[in-house]
Structures are given as C-alpha cells and as structure tokens.
Amino acid sequence: MTRPMRLGAVVITMGNRPDDLRALLDSVARQDGDPVEVVVVGQGVELTGLPEGVRTVSLPENVGIPAGRNIGIEAFGPGGTDVDALLFLDDDGLLANTDTAELVRQAFTADPKLGIISFRIADPETGLTQRRHVPRLRASDPMRSSRVTTFLGGANAVRTKVFAEVGGLPDEFFYAHEETDLAWRALDADWMIDYRSDMVLLHPTTPPSRHATYHFNVARNRVWLARRNLPAPLVPVYLGVWLLLTLARRPSASALQAWFGGFRAGWRTPCGPRQPMRWRTVWRLTRLGRPPVV
C-alpha cells in the first residue's frame, strides 16, 4: 500500500500582518486529508501566539524572500526531504478551498515528472485573477489550466525532489524573478510545471511596485537571471526585448532611473553560478508558449 504524500508549508512573514497570518494558518489547518506540517519564518520578528503545532524560525533581520523560503525548506530537513512536497504561501493569502492539499497530492502522484504547481491567485472581494498572476503569455483566460514555464512565488507547491536535484531559490535575488530562476533550472532537469486554476489562493489585489526597491530589483535580477541561465547568444536578445518592453510601458522618470540603476548593477555584480540551459530546453520552453527571450 502506497503511503500518503507528506506535505509541508512554508510561510515567511515580517510580523506586520498577524491577523492575516492567523487566517492563512487556519485555512491550512482546515485542509482535507492528512495534516499539512507548517513552518513560519519570521523576518526580523519574534513569532508568538501562533496555533499549536506550527513550527517557527525567527531571523534577526529580513534576509529577503528567496533566502527566507530556503531557510523554511531546510526546516523540513536537508532540501526539505522530510516531506514529499512543500506549499509556499504568502502570509496575507488564504486557501479558498479545503481540498487544495488533496489536489496537490493527486497531481504529484498522477504525474511523476510534475515538479511544480502554480496556484491561481484571486482577489478575495471580486474573485478576479489579474493577468500578471497567470504565468504564461496567453493569460486572457485565468480559468484555463495548462503547462507553463514559470510559477507564482507565494502560491505554489514544489516537489522536494526538485530541490534535491537543482538546488533552492537564489538567495542573492532578495525579491523578484527568483521563481523563474528555479523554474528554468527545473525545466532544464526535465521537470514539468503546471498552472492549476482549481487550486486557489485568495490574495488582495496590490501592485508589486509597492515595494520600495521593486524597479531596481526587477532590472538587476532579470540581468542576473539571463547571465545565470541562458545560452550566451540569447542573453543580449532576452535583455534587449525586456528593455524595449520596459520603455513601451512608459514608466515614470524615477521608476526608469531605478530600473536603469538595477540594469547596470546586474552586469557589475556577481550573479551566482552560471549554468546555461540546454538548447533542448530552449526549444521546450518555446513549445510551451514562452521562449526564453521574453
């Protein structure tokens, strides 16, 4: 008899949304099937008053989203190997349904090459999903599930074998594009990624630009992403396309200044190990609808 898949969940928080965090943890506790083990990583805060059974890791400072999640992964053993898969959930999100964990178990069990699942993010008041929350170019129908080439950082599930094979999230990114970095490495190792519209995380509609360093990090990390993962001929093509797309969006002067500052920093600073994907992976990404030049 096959044992049920063990699931864990990693939540990182800076402690400024305690009511939202408690609501999220309650929604995880209400999941059907075997309980989901939870670790909350506090970024520069002491964590108190959480439900019984929730483990905590308190860090003295904010080390960034990817590093915080990596610390959460290690709380489940080296590479998270004490469990079969991990959910990564934003602390101000809420699992809409009680069957999400069971759907994750079923999906991973049915497809041994499925490595990552991206949930659908919906606004709790309107139920609507923004285009930017659908991780594919053809994003007009958020209710259509599909194979994709990246995933959403605060609403996903990852099979822990993926971390064992390709490593964790890139600590140095701090915020922005760390999911795509992991996704490209996973796809290059022949894992698959699914977007599932029936796995829903309710999350308030907020612009990503609310983060003070958003424009800088987006540009810097995109350069790092290309330098780390793309075959050399594609690096200037990818970055040239994103330069044109950024200019076409007509950002404010201050946003554009920050963006170009990040772009320069991406070339001048270490980006971590370079492991360019195979050309076979480039073709695979293209067949999935998003060639790694956009």
Per-residue confidence of the chain (294 residues) as pLDDT tens digits? 567 899 999 999 998 899 999 999 999 999 999 999 999 999 999 898 899 999 999 999 999 999 999 999 999 999 999 999 999 999 999 999 999 999 999 999 999 999 999 999 999 999 999 999 999 999 999 999 999 999 999 999 999 999 999 999 999 999 999 999 999 999 999 999 999 999 999 999 877 655 568 999 999 999 999 999 999 999 999 999 999 999 999 999 999 999 999 999 999 999 999 999 999 999 999 999 999 999
CB atoms within 10 A of CB 200: 20
Q: What are phi and psi for residue 217, nearest 5 degrees?
A: -65, -40
Instruction: Measure the CA–CA gap between 16 and 242, rounded to whole angstroms.
Output: 34
Instruction: Measure the CA–CA gap between 33 and 103, rounded to whole angstroms.
Output: 10
pLDDT of amino acid 173: 97
Structure tokens at 289: 């609808």
Structure tokens at 249: 């969006």
Q: Cβ distance 79 to 160 under 8 Å?
A: yes
> What is the number of alpha carbons within 13 Å of residue 93 lying toward its C-beta?
26
> What is the number of alpha carbons within 13 Å of residue 166 lying toward its C-beta?
25
Q: What are phi and psi for residue 16, nearest 5 degrees?
A: -100, 5
pLDDT of amino acid 46: 87
Sign of CA dihedral 206, 209, 212, 214: positive
Terminal C-alpha separation, the chain: 45
Question: Residue 203's closest CA among 108, 107, 128?
Answer: 128
pLDDT of amino acid 135: 96
Supply the pTM of this predicted model: 0.95
pLDDT of amino acid 182: 98
